[in-house]
Homo-oligomer: A and B are copies of this chain.
Amino acid sequence: MTLTLEQAQAMIAAATAKAKELNVKMNIAVVDAGANLTAFVRMDGAWLGSVDISIKKAKTARFFDMPTGEIGKISQPGGSLYNIEHSNNGLITFPGGIPIKAANGEIIGAIGVSGDSVENDHTVASAGLEAYK
């Protein structure tokens, strides 16, 4: 299964619509199975620093095939993966990155969102994910 640009753009459109509904400004990135960037948008007025964060969230979610926030729970001081963020030219391990799973269970990419609270980032990423089919 390969993630197509059309699928990635549909996910980004859905994520953008959710961001507007929440009245937040987001950076939204989608990577493919190889963790390579497929599509990206920065909504007008969204944080510049979140360009890189949204891309790193998408990559991190695909690197470890789990939502980024799950990694953050165990990368804290005293946690089993403390300071894992130093690998892979920088990971982002708070919520907002989610793997994309095909109908056959295969993980074919990930979406990453950054621009507001991590709760809103995750909500917007989830809305994008729901548009995948």
Q: Which residues of A come within 8 Å of B, CB atoms? A: 2, 4-5, 8-9, 32-44, 47-53, 56, 60, 62-65, 72, 75-78, 80-88, 90-94, 117-118
Minimum CB distance partner of A115 in chain B: B64
15 further contact pairs, Cβ within 8 A, besides A36-B48, A52-B88 = A5-B41, A5-B44, A34-B36, A35-B36, A36-B51, A47-B63, A48-B63, A52-B87, A56-B86, A72-B83, A83-B83, A83-B94, A84-B94, A85-B86, A87-B90
Contact B39 A117 (CB under 8 A): no
Contact A37 B40 (CB under 8 A): yes
Minimum CB distance partner of A41 in chain B: B39
The winner among A42, A47, A51, A86 for most chain B CB atoms within 10 A is A86
Q: Which residues of B sit under 8 angstroms from A83, Cβ to Cβ?
A: 72, 75, 83, 85, 92-94
Contact A76 B84 (CB under 8 A): no
Q: Which residues of B sit under 8 angstroms from A94, Cβ to Cβ?
A: 80-84
Q: Which residues of B sit under 8 angstroms from A4, Cβ to Cβ?
A: 44
